[in-house]
Amino acid sequence: MAEGNNLGKDGEAAAREYLVRKGYTVLRSNWHWHHYELDIVATHDGQLVVVEVKTRSEDYLVSPEEAVDNKKIRRIVTAADAYVRCFNLDLPVRFDIVTLVKTSEGYKIDHLDDAFYAPCR
């Protein structure tokens, strides 16, 4: 497996652990619907929280949160809508981004609550 794939998988595992420590209940990881994917789906404070995880090494060119562009947001929102319909959920949905930058000491983690809203069609 490529080093980038390992970095991403390790980063998602660290993000899950971080969220659990913060009191989130992780429902699913890497949930797929057609060609869309949700990195982490969790609940917290009565909300369904869809978390996009972005992991980078220290020498990144584009910051992790900048990698979540409008096209990526539309894909996440579409997948989240499918998730809510698939599991017949009646919860408010929030979209977060967890960014991880791998350092020699581990990961520097930032959690952006309400990082974006579902765009109007």
CA distances from 20 to 40, 69, 103 (A): 11, 26, 22
Q: Kindly state the tokens that stand for 59.
A: 């020498």
CB half-sphere exposure, 90, CA atoms < 13 A: 0
* Phi, psi torsion values for 71, nearest 5 degrees: -65, -45
Strand partners, 41: 28, 50
Question: pLDDT of the chain along its 121 residues, tens only?
Answer: 455 568 778 889 999 999 999 999 999 999 999 999 999 999 999 999 999 999 888 776 777 778 899 999 999 999 999 999 999 999 999 999 999 998 888 899 999 999 998 887 6
| 120: Cβ contacts below 8 Å, ≥ 6 apart | none
